[in-house]
Structure 1
Amino acid sequence: MNDLPIDKGTRVTLHFALKFEDGETVDATFGKEPATLEIGDENLPENFEAYLMGLKAGDHKTFEVPPEKAFGQHNPSNLQTFKRHEFSADMVLEKGVVISFADARQQELPGVISRVEGDEVEVDFNHPLAGRTLSFEVQIIDVEPAGQTH
């Protein structure tokens, strides 16, 4: 085990758990294979990477991540209303269904149906975790210079 602190240009092997304040798990690797990522490779949102900076192999910490540092606040202008006929006839349109749209740059943009009323379908383009405070638990297993092969 080395003493290299996590920083840009390091590859990190870790276990993590992302949970809601009530303890419900969103995603976790504990009990499975650990995750390996390079700092700055966009596998982890930059704000989450910031919590890892300076940690070393063997560290085990839990951080409370407010919405501003996680997936942002819920934004009412990210709710959009479409007409029923704008969707294909065989598409299931009910609350909770995730639909993939293309944004102006043809990037995939998922939306969740939040309301279906008559001919109107309301779609929420906020991140599903927007507005939530999250608990981010990490156990650092190994830190090594990026690009190093075993």
Structure 2
Amino acid sequence: MLKNGEFVKIEYDAYDENGNLFDSTRGEIAKALHKKEGPLLVVVGKHRLIKGLDIAIRSMSQGEETEFEFNEANAFGKRSKEYTKIMRMEDFARYNVAPQPGLTVHLDTEQGRIYGTIKSVSGGRVLVDFNHPLSGQKVRYKVKITEVVTVPEERLKAIGEDIGIVTSVSLKDGTATFEIQKDDSFEEKKAVIMIMTKSFMPEVKKIEVLEAKPPSKKA
């Protein structure tokens, strides 16, 4: 049995109630949604999965593969008129978004990032549906746990890999040290590493993100 806070890597294919694949860790859909193919890092109980799947994988073990079906309450929730909002055209200006029907947008709010689909644009007003596209539906997941990560240093490495960073890591006396290559997104990657490590590994007391030495050039 998996417990809250455990690190696991999973592969999955997810289907809507009509049998259409809407998410996967394989192929082009994985590249589009997750920026990579291959197993994804999940920390049990940290809301990185839909409610039903987060609960279901707790009964699984490394190497096990199974299939689950979840109702709307354990998937993406019920559709609600409360999540359909009328916004002003000006509200989108600060996001550099030109509203048009069918466009999927994300907006940063005090409650975090929310996603919506623009339904109509008329008279300077924009109707946005913030219901998840799969709300109100049953969904089906084929899942395999490829690895249960238990060693602290390997957990740190998994955090780096999850956000697409090839990095060296070390853990000594409660201090986690990451070394990553310097590029235009260095500060953004650093911030994500700090947030994920603090959230997923409370036993780490200090986090350092350093610039890695550039690879030596061959003569």
TM-score, normalised to structure 2, is: 0.57
User: Aligned to 2:127, which of 115, 118, 122?
Assistant: 122
Identity of aligned residues (%): 24
Q: Is the 8 A contact 1:21 1:135 kept in 2?
A: yes
Q: Which amino acid aligns with 1:70?
A: A
State the Cα deviation string for residues 58-115 of structure 1 (Å, max 9, x = none): 2211111111101100111111123445544x84322111233343x26332221012
Structure-2 change in CA distance of 1:128 and 1:57 (3 Å): same
Structure 2 residue 88 is matched with structure 1 residue 92: no
Structure 1 gap segments, 5+ residues each? none
Greater strand fraction, Structure 1 or Structure 2: 1
Over 3 Å counting, the alpha-carbon distance change for 1:108 and 1:9 in structure 2 is closer
Work out the CA distance in 1 between the residues paired with 2:83 and 2:111.
18
Of the structure 1 ranges 66-75 and 24-33, higher mean CA displacement relative to structure 2 is found in 24-33
1:139 alignment partner in structure 2: 144
Distance 1:42 1:86, change over 3 A: closer
Alignment partner, residue 192 of structure 2: none
Residue 74 of structure 1 pairs with residue 70 of structure 2? no
Within 2, Cα distance between the matches of 1:148 and 1:87? 43
Paired with 2:40 and 2:97, the residues of 1 have a C-alpha distance of 36
Q: Flag structure 2 segments of 5+ consecutive residues without an equivalent.
A: 28-36, 156-219
2:119–2:129 Cα contact (<8 Å) kept: yes
Which has the higher Rg, Structure 1 or Structure 2?
2
Partner of 1:24: 20
Amino acid at match of 1:6: L
Q: What secondary structure is seen at the aligned counterpart in 1 of 2:154?
A: coil
Paired amino acid for 2:106: S
- Quote the Cα distance in structure 1 between the aligned partners of 2:92 and 2:149: 49
Preserved contact between residue 52 and residue 70 of structure 2 (Cα < 8 Å) = no
Please tell me whether the aligned partners of residues 51 and 74 of structure 2 are also in contact (alpha carbons under 8 angstroms): no
Q: Which residue of 2 aligns with 1:149?
A: 154
